[in-house]
C-alpha cells in the first residue's frame, strides 16, 4: 500500500516529479561517503596468484591513488571492490573488504546493490552505442526509474556535474560514439554518477586521453573529492601527487602483485623509508 501511495502521490503532483523520480535511486544510500578497509586481500586466476597480502584503508570521502608498475595487481584489486572479479572465470578472491560496516566479499552480499553503490570508470572510454542521453537514461531505467521528467532531470544534472552539458545540450540524441575521447570518458563518468554511488573506482581514467582531456578529467575528479570515496589506479605519479589524499604503492614480488606501502600522500612521496617506494617515487625503479 505504501508503494502504491508513493506512486500515486508522484503521479498526482507532476511539479515534484523530477525529485520523486530520482528518489528510488537513493534508497539505502547514506549521505556520507563510507570508508573502505581492505585486509589481506588475495586474488588468483586459474590458481595462479596475481595479488597477495593487500591491506589498505581509504577514509570516507578521500581519494586513494594506487600506483605501481604493470602486472602488480592494481586493476585486480579494484575489480574486487565491485565484485567484477565474479565475472572472470577461474578468478578466486580471499580476504576482507569492508565498506562502512558491510563485508563486500561475503557470499550473501547483494552484488546488484553493491555495484550501484560502487561506480566504476575504465581505462578506455566505453560509452554504449546509444545516444548521449540514452547512455545515462538506460542504466537509470534498468534501476527502476521510468519517469520521463525524472530521467531528463537526471541527464541534465549529471552532464552538468561532469562539465559536459554546455557541449552536448543541443545534440543529446546524437550517438555517444560521435563524441571525442575525453568527452566520452566524461559521459561514462556521468553515467556512473547518475546511479548515485558512494564509492568511485577509477581504473587509469586518463591513460587513453590527450593532455587537455586529462586536465578536464582531473579538474572533475578534484570536484568529486569529498562527495565520494575514490580509489584511482594510475601510472602517472605526477597525477597521483596532484590528486591523491592517500597513496598505495603496489609492486611485483616473485611474479605476484603485493602492496608495498600505503599511507598519506606526504607519507609516501616525502617521508617514505621503504626502499621500493623511494626508488619508484624517485624514478629510479619502475
DSSP label at 88?
Answer: S
Here the cell at position 19 is: 525529485
Taking CB under 8 A as the binding criterion, the range among 122-130, 179-187, 246-254, 263-271 that sits at the site for other proteins is: 122-130
Gap between the Cα atoms of 218 and 28, Å rounded? 29
Q: Does 124 bind other proteins (CB under 8 A)?
A: yes
Picking from 142, 126, 116, 154, the residue whose alpha carbon sits closest to that of residue 20 is 154
Among 129, 211, 255, 283, binds other proteins (CB under 8 A): 129
**Smallest gap, in angstroms, from Cβ of residue 161 to other proteins?**
17
Identify any residues that bridge with 201 across adjacent strands, giving them in sequence order: 120, 231
Site membership for other proteins, residue 262 (CB under 8 A): no
Say how many C-beta atoms besides its own lie within 10 A of residue 37's C-beta. Answer: 16
Helix 148-161, helix 132-142: angle, nearest 10:
120
Q: Which is nearer to other proteins, 126 or 271 (CB)?
A: 126
Selected binder of other proteins within 94, 126, 173, 222 (CB under 8 A): 126
The yes or no reply on residue 111 touching other proteins (CB under 8 A) is yes
Q: Length of the chain in residues, anyone? A: 286
Task: Compare residues 37 and 124 and give the one whose CB is closer to other proteins.
Answer: 124
Question: Are 286 and 72 in contact, with CB atoms under 8 Å apart?
Answer: no
Contact residue for other proteins among 154, 192, 214, 248 (CB under 8 A): 192
CA angle 210, 181, 209 (to 5 degrees): 25
Would you count residue 208 as binding other proteins (CB under 8 A)?
Answer: no
Measured from the CB of residue 270, what is the shortest distance to other proteins in angstroms? 35
Residue ranges in contact with other proteins by CB under 8 A: 82, 84, 87, 89, 111-116, 119-120, 122, 124, 126, 128-130, 134, 138-139, 141-143, 188, 191-192, 195
Amino acid at each position: 500500500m505504501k508503494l502504491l501511495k508513493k506512486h500515486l502521490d508522484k503521479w498526482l503532483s507532476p511539479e515534484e516529479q523530477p525529485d520523486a523520480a530520482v528518489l528510488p535511486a537513493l534508497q539505502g544510500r547514506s549521505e556520507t561517503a563510507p570508508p573502505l578497509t581492505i585486509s589481506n586481500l588475495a586474488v588468483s586466476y586459474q590458481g595462479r596468484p596475481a595479488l597477495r597480502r593487500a591491506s589498505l584503508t581509504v577514509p570516507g570521502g578521500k581519494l586513494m591513488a594506487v600506483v605501481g608498475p604493470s602486472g602488480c595487481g592494481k586493476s585486480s584489486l579494484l575489480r574486487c571492490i565491485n565484485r567484477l572479479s565474479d565475472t572472470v572465470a577461474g578468478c578466486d578472491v580471499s580476504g576482507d573488504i569492508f565498506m562502512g560496516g558491510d563485508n563486500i566479499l561475503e557470499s550473501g552480499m547483494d552484488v546488484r546493490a553493491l555495484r550501484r553503490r560502487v561506480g566504476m570508470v575504465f581505462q578506455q572510454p566505453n560509452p554504449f552505442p546509444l545516444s548521449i542521453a540514452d547512455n545515462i537514461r538506460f542504466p537509470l531505467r534498468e534501476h527502476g526509474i521510468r519517469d520521463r521528467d525524472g530521467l531528463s532531470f537526471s541527464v541534465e544534472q549529471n552532464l552538468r556535474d561532469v562539465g559536459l552539458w554546455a557541449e552536448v545540450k543541443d545534440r543529446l540524441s546524437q550517438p555517444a560514439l560521435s563524441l571525442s575521447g575525453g568527452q566520452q570518458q566524461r559521459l561514462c563518468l556521468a553515467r556512473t554518477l547518475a546511479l548515485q554511488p558512494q564509492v568511485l573506482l577509477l581504473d587509469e581514467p586518463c591513460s587513453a586521453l590527450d593532455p587537455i582531456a586529462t586536465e578536464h578529467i582531473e579538474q572533475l575528479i578534484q570536484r568529486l573529492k569529498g562527495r565520494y570515496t575514490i580509489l584511482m589506479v594510475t601510472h602517472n605519479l605526477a597525477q597521483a601527487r596532484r590528486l591523491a589524499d592517500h597513496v598505495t604503492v603496489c609492486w611485483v614480488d616473485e611474479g605476484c602483485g603485493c602492496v608495498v606501502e600505503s599511507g598519506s600522500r606526504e607519507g609516501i612521496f616525502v617521508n617514505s623509508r621503504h626502499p621500493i617506494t623511494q626508488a619508484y617515487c624517485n624514478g629510479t625503479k619502475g
